Structure 1
Amino acid sequence: MAENVLKISNLKVAYGGIKAVKGIDLEVNKGELITLIGANGAGKTTTLKAITGTLPSCKVEGDILYMGSSIRGSNSFELVTRHLAMVPEGRGVFTRMTIHENLMMGAYTRNDKGGVDADIDKWYSVFPRLKERSAQLAGTLSGGEQQMLAMARALMSHPNLLLLDEPSMGLSPIMVEKIFEVVRNVSAQGVTILLVEQNAKLALQAAHRGYVMDSGAITMSGQASDMLNDPKVQAAYLGEA
């Protein structure tokens, strides 16, 4: 039987009278790379923010179970200590800190200096550009370099679950390919990932399973390979008839 890392049941999110998420069910099992695709405004980012406790004032209902325990209403800083990490839309790097300092911030819950140093070297080997610029302020990096840094920083916490919110947004095609190469590599190392992504084709090619979200509801789910070949998914999200 698959081990649930994340299980969402009947999740509803409302901002006043606006229902942004309308009772969705979603689960992510250990070692899986799951993608949540859909048009802008479908409720994908709101779902991630409900998981991580980073929503502004709103009403959240339903169950959010992480590693078997409810985390609905938990503070985001508490979740980091429980090895749940998120790379937010827009990346959110500490612009006035260096690359190296950003990576150290990702490891602030750890006290194994040798392990932290080894992990920094590891992610420098994955992202050579970061190593070349380790003393550079993060705010001076390109969008793609900041995305690399945000991912490496999140991985420094050794997450049981890594949430990625639109990692390819605003990047050049070459950089998008690099980011997805890293996502696949991290998944192959056994890190459990929930990926929200506008590039449905690349997301489904990388993922094990997928969910389609439309107007706050899950309208389709299944094996990612099957969804890639589904005419309705192709017509709506892959630019194919």
Structure 2
Amino acid sequence: MAENVLKISNLKVAYGGIKAVKGIDLEVNKGELITLIGANGAGKTTTLKAITGTLPACKVEGEINYLGASIRNVNSFEMVKNHLAMVPEGRGVFTRMTILENLMMGAYIRNDKAGINADVEKWFTVFPRLKERASQLAGTLSGGEQQMLAMARALMSHPNLLLLDEPSMGLSPIMVEKIFEVVRNVSAQGITILLVEQNAKLALQAAHRGYVMDSGAITMSGNAKDMLNDPKVQAAYLGEG
């Protein structure tokens, strides 16, 4: 039986009278790459922020279980200790720190120096552009390079679950392809991923399963390859049909 890493049940999020998320169910099993797709404003980022406890003042209802335990009222800074990491929309790198310093910040909960150094080399192999610029300030990197750095920094914490929020946003087509190549590489290493993404085609091509979110509700879910060929998904999100 598949091991549940994340299970969301009847999640509702409201900002005043505005219902941003309307009672969704979603689960991610160990080793899966799950994508949550939908138009801008569908509630995808709000869902991720509800998981990580980083929402502004609002009403949150429902269950969010991570590795079998509720994280509804867990402080966001405790999440990394529990090996749950998120790469936020907009990347959020430490712009006045070097690439290497950013990576070390990703490992701040660890004290295994040899292991940390080995991981730096490991992710430099996956992201060779970062190795070339290891002593460069993160703020001087291109958007795509900052996205790579944000992902590598999150991976330094050895996450049991990696949340990716719109990793392709604002990037050139060539860089988008590169980012998705890295996402597939990370998934192939057995790291469990929940990917929120507007580029539905690339997301579904990379994922094992997918969920479609529209106006705060899950309107469809299933095998990602099947969803790629679904006429409704093609018409709404893939510009086909």
**Same-fold call, TM > 0.5?**
yes
Indicate the residue corresponding to 2:145 in structure 1.
145
Report the Cα distance in structure 2 between the residues aligned to 1:105 and 1:127, rounded to whole angstroms. Answer: 17
Which of 140-149 and 123-132 deviates more? Answer: 123-132
Query: Per the alignment, in what secondary structure is the counterpart of residue 81 of structure 1?
Result: coil
Report the Cα distance in structure 2 between the residues aligned to 1:73 and 1:129, rounded to whole angstroms. Answer: 38
The residue type paired with residue 101 of structure 1 is: E
Structure 1 vs Structure 2 CA RMSD = 0.4
Indicate the residue corresponding to 2:108 in structure 1.
108
Q: Deviations over 1:36-76 (max 9, x none)?
A: 00000000000000000000000000000000000012111
Spell out the pairing of 1:181-200 with structure 2 (5 A cutoff).
Answer: 181-200=181-200
Report the Cα distance in structure 2 between the residues aligned to 1:74 and 1:35, rounded to whole angstroms. Answer: 24
Indicate the residue corresponding to 1:165 in structure 2.
165
Report the Cα distance in structure 1 between the residues aligned to 2:33 and 2:125, rounded to whole angstroms. Answer: 23
The residue type paired with residue 151 of structure 1 is: M
Query: Per the alignment, in what secondary structure is the counterpart of residue 28 of structure 1?
Result: strand
Q: Deviations over 1:175-216 (max 9, x none)?
A: 001100000010000000000000000000000000000000
TM-score (norm 2): 1.00
Query: Per the alignment, in what secondary structure is the counterpart of residue 47 of structure 1?
Result: helix
Report the Cα distance in structure 2 between the residues aligned to 1:146 and 1:222, rounded to whole angstroms. Answer: 32
Report the Cα distance in structure 2 between the residues aligned to 1:205 and 1:30, rounded to whole angstroms. Answer: 19
Indicate the residue corresponding to 2:234 in structure 1.
234
Report the Cα distance in structure 1 between the residues aligned to 2:204 and 2:197, rounded to whole angstroms. Answer: 9
Report the Cα distance in structure 2 between the residues aligned to 1:198 and 1:219, rounded to whole angstroms. Answer: 16
Runs of 4+ aligned residues of structure 1 deviating over 2 Å after TM superposition are none
Structure 1 residue runs without a partner (length 5+): none
Which of 35-44 and 67-76 deviates more? Answer: 67-76
Q: Deviations over 1:4-29 (max 9, x none)?
A: 00000000000000000000000000
The residue type paired with residue 54 of structure 1 is: T
Indicate the residue corresponding to 1:223 in structure 2.
223
| Residue 136 of structure 1 pairs with residue 136 of structure 2 | yes
Spell out the pairing of 1:18-167 with structure 2 (5 A cutoff).
Answer: 18-167=18-167
Report the Cα distance in structure 1 between the residues aligned to 2:223 and 2:55, rounded to whole angstroms. Answer: 30
Query: Per the alignment, in what secondary structure is the counterpart of residue 236 of structure 1?
Result: helix
Q: Deviations over 1:81-108 (max 9, x none)?
A: 0000000000000011100000000000
Report the Cα distance in structure 1 between the residues aligned to 2:211 and 2:156, rounded to whole angstroms. Answer: 28
Structure 2 residue runs without a partner (length 5+): none
Q: Deviations over 1:145-165 (max 9, x none)?
A: 000000000000000000000
Report the Cα distance in structure 2 between the residues aligned to 1:125 and 1:65, rounded to whole angstroms. Answer: 34
Query: Per the alignment, in what secondary structure is the counterpart of residue 195 of structure 1?
Result: strand
The residue type paired with residue 129 of structure 2 is: R
Report the Cα distance in structure 2 between the residues aligned to 1:139 and 1:11, rounded to whole angstroms. Answer: 36
The residue type paired with residue 201 of structure 1 is: K
Counting matched residue pairs gives 241
Query: Per the alignment, in what secondary structure is the counterpart of residue 13 of structure 1?
Result: strand
Query: Per the alignment, in what secondary structure is the counterpart of residue 222 of structure 2?
Result: strand
Report the Cα distance in structure 2 between the residues aligned to 1:181 and 1:155, rounded to whole angstroms. Answer: 16
The residue type paired with residue 144 of structure 1 is: G
Indicate the residue corresponding to 1:209 in structure 2.
209
Q: Deviations over 1:107-160 (max 9, x none)?
A: 000000000000000111111111111111101100000000000000000000
TM-score (norm 1): 1.00
Report the Cα distance in structure 1 between the residues aligned to 2:231 and 2:132, rounded to whole angstroms. Answer: 45
